[in-house]
Amino acid sequence: MVGSIGFFWPAAVAVLKRRSCFILHLTLLLPAVRASGQLTGSPLVCQKTCLCASTIISCSKQNLTNVPNALPSYAAVLDLSFNFITKLQADWTGIRLDQLQSLLLSNNNLTFLSTEAFVNVRKLRYLDLSFNSLRLLDEYIFEPLENLEVLLLYKNHISQIDRSAFSGLIELQRLYLSHNQITRILVELLKGRGRLKSLRLLDVSSNRIKALPLDELQALPAWIKNGLYFHNNPLTCSCELYELMAHWELRELSPSTDFRSNHTCVTSGQPKEKMAILDLTRQYLNCSEVKGFKKEGYLEQSLVLDCDTRQKNMVKRWVLPGNLTVSQNETTFIRNESSLRIGPLKVEDSGVYTCYATSDSFNETLYVTVVVFNTTMSKGLENLKTAYTTLVACLISLVMILIYLFFTPCRCACCPGQNMEKNDGKDSLHSSTVSLSQAHEERWQERVGDGGFLYRHTAFLEPKEQLEQNGRLNPISEEDEEWQGANRGRTRSDVSSVCSNSPMVI
């Protein structure tokens, strides 16, 4: 018995070694098979990994790292949210899904979208890519989705968007891009050749936009502005920004009325402060308050009034001042089905014009105040030129007067530096009268000889007995005499200075 065991022992050891090697190779092979399955995706099993209900396939919260393959071609809704799918490759569907209308990929930590990721799902109408980690949108990435109506991209890390990324989305109505890192508003989607004609809502709130193209936004139709949301952005405060928001507030546009407290701006000074845009009239910039809608014009001009409603394709009707219809006024007519043209203007065209807009679900009334000045534009310009000329003449006269007062050379005989002696205190009261006396002539000759400046004397001679120093009338009509007192050694006229410009004390 022992001998038999000893005979079979080497053979048993060899068999065990071969089995262990097989198990080892099998163990090493399993991760590769698992990895291969992750790259291609495991087959769809409705009873285990996904919930299938008619045309709806829900694979939410199944810890998937890839999209299941062998998806049924009849699927209309595919929910892959709350998984761990990080990349959407070009062939993720395997087959064309022409019936698929809704695709949900939110909360997947997606970081990559292939430029051909949507080639096999061209009939999509609803695409949810929110709550992921996308950073850029390449050119023409959504171009195959010609039927897409709603695109959700909020709560990502998007900072770069190619200008052609949304090209081809001719049916897109709502685009959500809030809570990203976008630094500009996508105005090319709202106007110009690249405009998405069906777009009704663009949400770029809670991004990093510091400035808006205010003039371009103000020129947009009201039905587009009514769906443009840009609150919670670090916009720089300015009166132009306030004027834009004040007009939106007057029109009761949804972005202003729904998020009034979230429309804030950042002051430019130090320290920077955040404040409500509509408070700029009372704080910080003290902007002028915006009141109503007014159009101004001159005689013989023309004005165009737009019935700029918050919804598109409404039936519009104009009522003129005095409750008149358009047909009752010779100077008004309808243009482009909604705009009212007035002209040539007359003074009686002033007043409030009313536009009534109606639709199946919404009615709106607009009021526009027209003010016609009782003058022509050319006459107004002439008046402006005359006023400007008068103002310039006044300024020139004022400058000449200042030059005369402050830059006229000193002509007094006792000016500093002229080496002239003052007259004796006992001189006559009339010694200060400007005259061509001999003493002054001699001094003048000496000055000219010494190279001093030449100036001209002008003398106004009056009767001696009627003049006082500085040309005033002498209240005493007799010649001046010296006081003969023992304690007084001065003249009758108490003069502080012969050349002083101050009043004399008599």
Question: Is residue 360 scored above 50 in pLDDT?
Answer: yes
pLDDT digits (tens, 9 = 90+) for 449-478: 454 444 444 444 444 444 444 444 444 444
More confident residue, 424 or 45: 45
pLDDT digits (tens, 9 = 90+) for 427-440: 444 444 444 445 54
Q: Which of 84-98, 194-208, 276-290 has the lowest mean pLDDT?
A: 276-290
> Average model confidence (pLDDT) for the chain?
78
Q: DSSP E strands: which ranges in 94-180?
A: 102-104, 112-113, 126-128, 136-137, 150-152, 160-161, 174-176
Nearest to residue 98, comparing CAs of 128, 127, 124?
Answer: 124
What's the average model confidence in pLDDT over 331-340?
Answer: 80
Nearest to residue 434, comparing CAs of 452, 453, 457?
Answer: 457
> Which phi and psi angles does 450 have, rounded to 5°?
-80, 5
Do 340 and 305 form a contact (C-beta atoms < 8 A)? yes
pLDDT at 91: 87
pLDDT digits (tens, 9 = 90+) for 234-272: 999 999 999 999 999 999 999 999 999 999 999 887 788
pLDDT digits (tens, 9 = 90+) for 222-232: 999 999 999 99
Query: Cis peptide leading into 271, omega within 30 of 0?
Result: yes
- Order the strands of the 235-236 sheet from edge to edge: 235-236, 264-266, 274-276
Residue 276 amino acid letter:
A
> Which phi and psi angles does 301 have, rounded to 5°?
-85, 180
Nearest to residue 343, comparing CAs of 367, 370, 381?
Answer: 370
Q: Please say whether the structural domain 46-208 has been given the CATH code 3.80.10.10.
A: yes
Rounded Cα–Cα distance for residues 161 and 322 (Å)? 53
Do 463 and 433 form a contact (C-beta atoms < 8 A)? no
Question: Is residue 418 scored above 60 in pLDDT?
Answer: no
- The model's confidence at residue 108, banded by pLDDT at 50, 70 and 90, is very high
The answer for 388, left when phi > 0, alpha when psi is -120 to 50, beta otherwise, is: alpha
Rounded Cα–Cα distance for residues 254 and 264 (Å)? 16
Domain with CATH 3.80.10.10 in the chain: 46-208
- The model's confidence at residue 411, banded by pLDDT at 50, 70 and 90, is low
What the block records as the tokens of 115 is 């430029």
Domain with CATH 2.60.40.10 in the chain: 294-373
Residue 119 amino acid letter:
V
CATH number of 294-373: 2.140.10.10, 3.40.50.1820, 2.60.40.10, 1.10.275.30? 2.60.40.10
Residue the block writes with tokens 């209240």: 475
Whole-model pTM: value is 0.67
pLDDT digits (tens, 9 = 90+) for 180-214: 999 999 999 999 888 999 999 999 999 999 999 99
